[in-house]
Structure 1
């Protein structure tokens, strides 16, 4: 029996014959937790990056990282795992910075390269798939439909599964990480309220992301990665409504698949392996006033 999770557009998700409805705070980014509670959960309630991207650190604290449109930044960099994000954005005449969203991510592990991105689309259609995925420069052809699955012929531990018929997938490298990627647009209403400046030729389709890491080293770096280090010290002012992570130049990289940010650790030897099951969830979600990128546990 299929389970419908109403997102305002009758987008169906499925779980053990129990009907559920997406929470009002995440009408576009809801999945069913079928393994435990069989309840709908907001993608942006899990560690990762969402909206005008918000991040949540491994220490459980939220912070903002503004970034810049049309630029790429190191989100996680470890000896055998590197994740970059490509930012798109709009400039508000009343602001001195860009509104930014994550349009795509590149995941590098070993000698492999995984791309997950949102296609640019003028008019959003909930029934159409706006995801683009490639692995080692070959397109991943994932059938539409809940639970549709793709497995790599060359990396048996890598699996990509649809958690909705279109636009949402879970990527798992067994024993290393899980990533939920959900493509969503900026709605006209959100644009009107927050002055995002959505135009008729671009819905600003972007990714809401949730990360779960199984193993990182003590030397991990990146916008989010650094917050998993055992020696990480949170220096944000807890009295500030929107703590902002500076040092943009430390995380900027020359390309989506480049590992040349100043804090890069990819390919280095050293750093004790750290099992982080207690710190595995980091979420990144959009704030209602478009402050930048934020993540939290």
Structure 2
């Protein structure tokens, strides 16, 4: 049974920011490839961006977009309306930094996983998403820090890899994004709006929202993922005590998810929060509410649907047909 949980959660929360972000992401979902662009502030607050309508023969005037002050490094702008938002605003489906998730119930929590391992973020009958974690260890604090380096997305009999390529030092002008579809590398032209879609699954598309390191992945009627490759800077390490050494900037992904037509059997670190029967047992008043159960969500590989709560390939209720084999849905 499908469930419209994201909008329902927004209504229950009644937060103006949440409502505006969800409205924007809905608009984006209705207009794939719309002129959504990224403002990189490079440490400069209140950076402005000239935003114009790129549609042919459009007479709509451009405008000047300004990143909200709460966005630390970059923001997204939808042209030509100049609506802006931070990728890591607290709205359902976000994962940022030392993996901080916001569930469909609107509550934010941390799931640290473990360095060098893969964990099931979402698993449903026709969709499975694993995340590969990288990390560092601060011996002075006796603490490990982790980040999501890559996603392994499975649907029907296809697989999509979205990852941050390892780099010794961060170069904002270089593209640190790595993509592969069914084990074949995807080469995406470096231009805002550049779009790729495979013949084998034309409902899937990847579109650049910046010349480098920022994309939107869309699987029509199934999911939408906003992904940015970002580094851990020396200043980040100093402020937060990450203990990052020279030689690896720990490039990782900040992510925003939007799901459609999930079943009530969905599970996974983030996926479970979309269930109708989900009960949040975390201490949401804590500074860092932690979700444990790493063993429950651990997968043996980035594209393996073998975590303890895996649902991928299960028969959908009342149909007797496993959606994992229903490739026609994506044509």
TM-score by length of 1: 0.85
Q: Which moved more, 1:57-66 or 1:39-48?
A: 39-48
Distance 1:13 1:96, change over 3 A: farther
Greater helix share, structure number: 2
Partner Cα distance (1:25, 1:93) in 2: 31
- Which gives a bigger RCO, structure 1 or 2 (Cα 8 Å, sep 6+)? 1
Equivalent position of 2:75 in the other structure: 30
1:15–1:32 Cα contact (<8 Å) kept: no
- The alignment status of 1:178 with 2:224, answered yes or no, reads yes
1:157 paired residue among 200, 203, 210:
203
Shift, 1:195, TM fit: 1.5
Deviations for 1:112-164, whole angstroms, at most 9, x for unmatched residues? 00000001111211111100001111111100011111111111111110011
Asked if 2 retains the 8 angstrom alpha-carbon contact of 1:187 and 1:203, the reply is yes
Q: CA deviation at 1:13?
A: 8.0
After superposition, residues 183-262 of structure 1 pair within 5 angstroms as 183-262=229-308
Q: CA deviation at 1:15?
A: 4.7
- TM-aligned CA distance change 1:235 to 1:3, over 3 Å: closer
Q: Structure 1 residues 24, 134: closer, same or farther in 2, change over 3 A?
A: same
Question: Matches of 1:101 and 1:94 in 2, distance apart?
Answer: 20
* Larger CA deviation: 158-167 vs 233-242: 233-242
Alignment of 1:1-297 (within 5 A): 5-8=39-42, 14-16=51-53, 17-34=62-79, 37-45=81-89, 46=91, 47-271=93-317
Asked whether the 8 Å contact 2:153–2:159 carries over to 1, the reply is: yes
Number of aligned residues: 272
Deviates more, 1:135-144 or 1:240-249: 240-249
Shift of 1:200: 2.3
In the alignment, the residues of structure 2 paired with residue 272 and residue 23 of structure 1 have an alpha-carbon distance, to the nearest angstrom, of 47
Cα separation, partners in 2 of 1:15 and 1:161, compared to 1, 3 Å: farther
Is the Cα–Cα contact under 8 Å of residues 3 and 20 in structure 1 kept in the other structure?
no
Change in Cα spacing, 1:193 to 1:214, as seen in structure 2 (3 Å) is: same
8 Å CA contact 1:13–1:146 kept in 2: the answer is no
User: Against the structure 1 CA distance between its residues 27 and 108, is the aligned structure 2 distance closer, same or farther, given a 3 Å change threshold?
Assistant: same
TM-score (norm 2): 0.77
Distance 1:56 1:264, change over 3 A: same
Distance across 2 between alignment mates of 1:241 and 1:153: 47
Structure 1 consecutive aligned stretches of length 4 or more whose deviation exceeds 6 Å = 1-4, 9-13
Q: Indicate how the Cα distance of structure 1 residues 3 and 120 shifts in structure 2: closer, same or farther if over 3 A, else same.
A: closer
Contact 2:162 2:180 in 1 (8 A): yes
> Which of 164-173 and 10-19 deviates more?
10-19
Segments of structure 1 that go 5 or more residues without pairing to the other structure are 274-297
List runs of 5+ in structure 2 lacking aligned partners. 1-34, 54-61, 320-331
